[in-house]
Structure 1
Amino acid sequence: MNTRWKPSATVAAIIERDGRYLLVEEHTPEGLRLNNPAGHLDPGESPEQGVARETLEETAHRFTPTALVGIYLSRFQRPATGEDITYLRFAYCGELGDFDVQRDLDTGIVRTLWMTPDELRECPERHRSPLVQRCIDDHQAGHRFPLNTVHTDPSVQRKG
């Protein structure tokens, strides 16, 4: 059988304030892990809409992307099941907005925390993937691309 390979499209927010980066601590099949606020792109949304939604769901903060930090491809093989997943990640930096005190964090998110790049570098075994550190390193290196680097055709948002 000829099966087409389909990587999972994900989005991530790279949010820095005073030398610290906003991270989430979340339950995964591999245990408690650290990640950038991130998740899967939903049908009918642009990557910019997806990263704003995921950041709100995982941190209870509004987020407005202002630049693309990078596009990343990574492969993960789940130790427990052998599942082989390839992720295509669009990482954005931007403006962190208001905190919604009434909003619960997404299922599986234990807490948010702010860490320096060095603090994060000291615990690679706790990273959800190698992309957590790579995105922060790229942000620190000044990687910024205009939002229109990624074009979402209007057909994406059409129903049916």
Structure 2
Amino acid sequence: MTKPVTPLLAADAIIELADRPGRPIVLIERRYPPPGWAIPGGFVDIGERLEQAAVREALEETALRVTLRALLGLYSDPQRDPRGHTVTAVYVAEATGEPRAQDDARNLAVFSVDALPELLAFDHALVLRDYLRFRETGEVAPLRGGSGNR
């Protein structure tokens, strides 16, 4: 049987620090290309649920044990990752404690949602705009029919 060629699957977690005023979020500066600040996350392992991958990747990259609160959305634009077609499930999560850059993270920083960095990897500027809408209204972003952005 020939194995079908399909997009890669990833899971990301926007981590809100629940023990800090304003619930800032954690972003990592990528160690490997493409460069930029990114939402912690990575590829789903065979036999792993999306939720498990998001929690595992958050721990591996930030040293934080997260609790997933909501599924923000699925992002599937074939151009979203310059390395190849990758679909990601993005969760909103919370954690407490002091994050540390680990694994694929060159650096890590805590950002107020009012002062996010300009150089973001992948389509994370779009994802974070959707997150800000979710944070303000509690609603996920509407589907972008035909645009391929989600």
Whether TM exceeds 0.5 here: the answer is yes
Matched, 1:59 2:62: yes
How many equivalent residue pairs?
131
Counterpart in the other structure of 2:122: 129
CA distance in structure 2 between the aligned counterparts of 1:7 and 1:42, rounded to whole angstroms: 14
**1:42–1:99 Cα change, 3 Å:** farther
Matched, 1:86 2:85: yes
- Following superposition, the deviation at residue 15 of structure 1 comes to 2.0
CA distance in structure 2 between the aligned counterparts of 1:77 and 1:93, rounded to whole angstroms: 20
Q: Bigger CA drift: 57-66 or 132-141? A: 132-141
Higher relative helix content: 1
CA distance in structure 1 between the aligned counterparts of 2:80 and 2:129, rounded to whole angstroms: 20
Larger radius of gyration: 1
For residue 38 of structure 2, the aligned residue among 35, 38, 52 is 35
Aligned residue identity for 1:8 = L
Could you say what secondary structure the match of 1:49 adopts? helix
- Residue deviations 1:101-156 (CA, integer Å, cap 9, x gap): 7xx711x31121122345336x2xx22112x1222221221235xxxxxxxxxxxx
Matched, 1:141 2:133: yes
CA distance in structure 2 between the aligned counterparts of 1:100 and 1:115, rounded to whole angstroms: 12
% identical equivalent positions:
26
Higher relative strand content: 1
Equivalent residues in 2 for 1:101-112, closer than 5 Å = 105-106=102-103, 108-112=104-108
**1:100–1:38 Cα change, 3 Å:** closer
Name the TM-score, length of structure 2 as normaliser. Answer: 0.73
Counterpart in the other structure of 1:50: 53
Name the TM-score, length of structure 1 as normaliser. Answer: 0.69
Pairwise CA RMSD: 2.7
Counterpart in the other structure of 2:146: none
Runs of 4+ in 1 over 3 A off after TM superposition: 2-5, 97-101, 116-119
